[in-house]
Amino acid sequence: MPDHQAYLNRLRHWRVVAPKGRVIYEEGEESIAFYRVETGCVRLQVNADLGHRQILAFCLPGDVFGLQMDGPRDTSAEAAAVTTLSRFPLSALAADTWEAGPPNGAAIAGLISAATRLSTTLADHLKGLGHGSTEDRLLWFLEWLAERQGVSPFGGVLQPPMSRRDIADFLCMAQETLSRTFARLVERGLIRVRSDRRIQLRPRPRPREEAGEGLQRAA
């Protein structure tokens, strides 16, 4: 759907399939290719010692990641679920290998657009973490996922492709806290968790007077 896809398709590339957990590249490696997610989910992350992880971004179908011209990777990329990718070797960006003639202004715009999109994603992430309680953060995440999966934020059913551990590391909270936060949202009637780990977003929290605790209801 986004414009830049058209230009990417003119570059040399091919499909690869990554099973869940597969490492696409690791922090510190030299960059030799970039990728577009076709199906599944990739997480960009940094691994601190002792299993402490920080997930910077989830890449869903259509997202381009790993696009940097030089230098070592600043994150690792791993498949958070079984994933198919299009792999674009960086060498394909050399002007003489373009299949459809030399790049024009629009093509450049498309590439920059692709490169920029990750910035937007990261910026959104920072905004989401920025302030707010754990509930706010989780709701923000669910909303984001709803938008990306094309389901209504009111009543839609989400199917998160990533584990709860992943979500916790993405939202910068302990997985226990995430679990409790889910429970609280269920209590408040904002979501319903299905047996198969799918999540139904509930329409309106049914305006109750719980908000005004001190209020006396007129009899």
Task: Give residues in contact with a second copy (CB under 8 A).
Answer: 3, 44, 46, 48, 52, 54, 56, 67-70, 74-75, 93-96, 102-105, 108-109, 111-113, 115-116, 118-120, 122-127, 129-131, 172
115, interface contact from a second copy, DNA, none, CB < 5-8 Å by kind: a second copy
Beta strands in 19-82 (DSSP E): 23-25, 33-39, 42-47, 53-59, 64-65, 76-79
197, interface contact from DNA, a second copy, none, CB < 5-8 Å by kind: DNA
Q: Min. distance of Cβ 75 from DNA in angstroms?
A: 20
124, interface contact from a second copy, DNA, none, CB < 5-8 Å by kind: a second copy
Residue closer to DNA by CB (options 2, 21) is: 21
Sites of contact with DNA (CB under 7 A): 133-135, 163-165, 172-183, 193, 195, 197
Q: Min. distance of Cβ 59 from a second copy in angstroms?
A: 13
In angstroms, the CA 160 to CA 26 distance is 24
Q: Min. distance of Cβ 182 from DNA in angstroms?
A: 6
157, interface contact from DNA, a second copy, none, CB < 5-8 Å by kind: none
Q: Min. distance of Cβ 69 from DNA in angstroms?
A: 35
Query: What's 132's DSSP letter?
Result: S
What six digits make up the tokens of 72? 């070592």
In angstroms, the CA 88 to CA 15 distance is 9
**Burial of 207 (C-beta count, 10 Å sphere; 0-12/13-18/19+):** exposed
56, interface contact from DNA, a second copy, none, CB < 5-8 Å by kind: a second copy
User: First and final CA of the chain: distance in angstroms?
Assistant: 56
From residue 77, give the alpha-carbon distance in Å to each of 162, 184, 191: 14, 32, 30
- CA 33, distance to chain mean position in Å, is 20
